[in-house]
């Protein structure tokens, strides 16, 4: 089998178009969705992501509030800024780009964001609601992964799903979302024994380990849907967590890197922000 490509650029463009239309609809109410993005320090990958988020914001017709703080920023100073953004009625969504410099505890900062403005879906209130199956702001990357799986038209009901990686940002939340769609979910991680045995059972495989080409063709079931969340910077360019060329021979659907999950994350961030501004979340 040769896999069909789940093109995140095309799918995210249609979502962004819909978000733009929603922004137009809010105008008569005097509402302009506002997203505040906070970048602390000089992490090169974070700078790229933040730049992409700002560009996406502006092209969707949002108000963009970008705060670039030096790497020497204290936790107190950052908490003060978060407090200001919490109180600012023009700001509907707040995103503090991770990772943060070592003197700042990310959990403390995330918990300081008003859950209603937590468009990253990282606040323990939103994470807890996701666990409990309650309506909440869902984290952007897992939400983008689910949207890509939906695009295949394949139902998750009763299917075997395997997730590689158990991060709070991707692995754990995407596992819960797959479970909510009635998949049977296996979460694999660095201590999992015989990982290939788990992955080979998967009808849907989500790779989010951060190890270049970790998932090889031998680990993939014929006809599986393979979603690659990995972004690994190698000398030859960006590669995912999946050995793309070989796995594409076996999978029924596969996401490219770049151009798969990445653009979906940004589209979902815009979607979350416009939903908050419209009072839907
Ligand atoms: N760092 C890597 N991914 C993300 C993300 O989705 N949100 C934030 N805030 N930081 C990140």
CA of 146 to the centre of ligand 1 (A): 17
CA of 119 to the centre of ligand 1 (A): 11
* Mean pLDDT of the region 88-115: 98
* Mean pLDDT of the region 202-229: 98
CA 86 to centroid of chain Cα atoms: 22
Radius of gyration of the chain (CA): 19
Residue 97 annotated as catalytic: yes
Split at pLDDT 50, 70, 90, the class of 281 is confident
**Which CATH number applies to 31-115?**
3.40.50.10860
Contact call for residues 252 and 5 (beta carbons, < 8 A): no
Q: Which atom of ligand 1 is nearest to the CA of 99?
A: 1
118, 120, 203, 243: the catalytic one is: 120
Give the CA distances from residue 91 to residues 15, 176, 279, in Å, rounded to whole numbers and listed in that order. Answer: 22, 29, 13
Per-residue model confidence (pLDDT) at position 213: 98
Q: What are the structural domain ranges in the chain? A: 31-115, 139-261
Contact call for residues 8 and 240 (beta carbons, < 8 A): no
Q: Decide if 31-115 and 139-261 have a common fold.
A: yes
What distance in Å separates the CA atoms of residue 177 and residue 45, rounded to the nearest whole number? Answer: 27
The CB density around residue 173, as the number of other CB atoms within 10 Å, is 26
The CB density around residue 203, as the number of other CB atoms within 10 Å, is 18
pLDDT of residue 90 exceeding 90, the answer is yes
* Mean pLDDT of the region 191-209: 98
**pLDDT, tens digit, for every residue of 116-152?**
999 999 999 999 999 999 999 999 999 999 999 999 9
**pLDDT, tens digit, for every residue of 264-273?**
999 999 999 9
Contact call for residues 164 and 214 (beta carbons, < 8 A): yes
Split at pLDDT 50, 70, 90, the class of 209 is very high
* DSSP characters over 135-203: --PPPHHHHHHHHHHHHTT---TT-EEEEE---TTTHHHHHHHHHHTT-EEEEE-TT-SSHHHHHTT-S
pLDDT of residue 15 exceeding 80, the answer is yes
Split at pLDDT 50, 70, 90, the class of 1 is confident
Split at pLDDT 50, 70, 90, the class of 245 is very high
| Ligand 1 contacts CB of residue 98 (under 6 A) | yes
**pLDDT, tens digit, for every residue of 144-180?**
999 999 999 999 999 999 999 999 999 999 999 999 9
Q: Which atom of ligand 1 is nearest to the CA of 139?
A: 6
Per-residue model confidence (pLDDT) at position 149: 98
Per-residue model confidence (pLDDT) at position 155: 98
| Ligand 1 contacts CB of residue 208 (under 6 A) | no
Angle at which helix 8-26 crosses helix 140-151, to 10 degrees, equals 110
| Ligand 1 contacts CB of residue 169 (under 6 A) | yes
* Mean pLDDT of the region 220-225: 98
Percentage of the residues of the chain whose pLDDT score is greater than 90: 99
| Ligand 1 contacts CB of residue 97 (under 6 A) | yes
End-to-end CA distance of the chain, in Å?
Answer: 41
Which of 275, 165, 173, 175 is CA-nearest to residue 230?
Answer: 165
**Which CATH number applies to 139-261?**
3.40.50.720
Residues 168/170/171/175 CA torsion (nearest 10 deg) = 110
| Ligand 1 contacts CB of residue 120 (under 6 A) | yes
**pLDDT, tens digit, for every residue of 36-89?**
999 999 999 999 999 999 999 999 999 999 999 999 999 999 999 999 999 999
For residue 118, what are the β-bridge partners? none
| Ligand 1 contacts CB of residue 210 (under 6 A) | no
* Mean pLDDT of the region 205-216: 98
CA neighbours within 13 Å on the CB side: how many for 94? 26
Helices (H), the chain: 8-26, 44-59, 75-87, 106-112, 124-132, 140-151, 171-180, 195-199, 244-248, 261-277
* Mean pLDDT of the region 6-13: 98
**Whole-number mean pLDDT of the chain?**
98
pLDDT of residue 208 exceeding 80, the answer is yes
- Report which secondary-structure segment, H or E, holds 36: strand 34-40
Taking CA atoms only, the protein residue closest to ligand 1 atom 9 is: 97
């Amino acid at each position: 089998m040769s896999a069909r490509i789940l093109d995140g650029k095309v799918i995210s463009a249609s979502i962004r178009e819909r978000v733009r239309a929603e922004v137009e609809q809010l105008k008569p109410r005097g509402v302009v969705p506002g997203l505040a993005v906070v970048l602390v320090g000089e992490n090169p990958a974070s700078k790229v992501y933040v730049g992409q988020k700002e560009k996406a914001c502006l092209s969707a017709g949002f108000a963009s509030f970008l705060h670039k703080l030096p790497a020497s920023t204290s936790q107190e100073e950052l908490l003060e800024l978060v407090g200001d953004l919490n109180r600012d009625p023009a700001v509907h969504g707040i995103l503090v780009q991770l990772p943060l410099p070592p003197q700042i505890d990310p959990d403390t900062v995330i918990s300081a964001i008003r859950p209603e403005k937590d468009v990253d879906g990282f606040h323990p209130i939103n994470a807890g609601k996701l666990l409990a199956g309650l309506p909440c702001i869902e984290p952007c990357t897992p939400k983008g992964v689910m949207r890509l799986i939906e695009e295949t038209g394949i139902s998750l009901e009763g299917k075997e799903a395997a997730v590689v990686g158990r991060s709070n940002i991707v692995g754990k939340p995407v596992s819960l979302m797959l479970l909510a769609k009635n998949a049977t979910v296996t979460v694999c991680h660095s201590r999992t024994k015989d990982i290939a045995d788990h992955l080979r059972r998967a009808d849907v495989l989500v790779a989010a380990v951060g190890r270049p080409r970790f998932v090889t063709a031998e680990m993939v079931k014929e006809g599986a849907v393979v979603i690659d969340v990995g972004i690994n910077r190698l000398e030859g360019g960006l590669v995912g967590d999946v050995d793309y060329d070989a796995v594409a021979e076996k999978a029924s659907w596969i996401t490219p890197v770049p151009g798969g999950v990445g653009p979906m994350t940004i589209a979902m961030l815009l979607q979350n922000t416009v939903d908050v501004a419209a009072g839907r979340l």
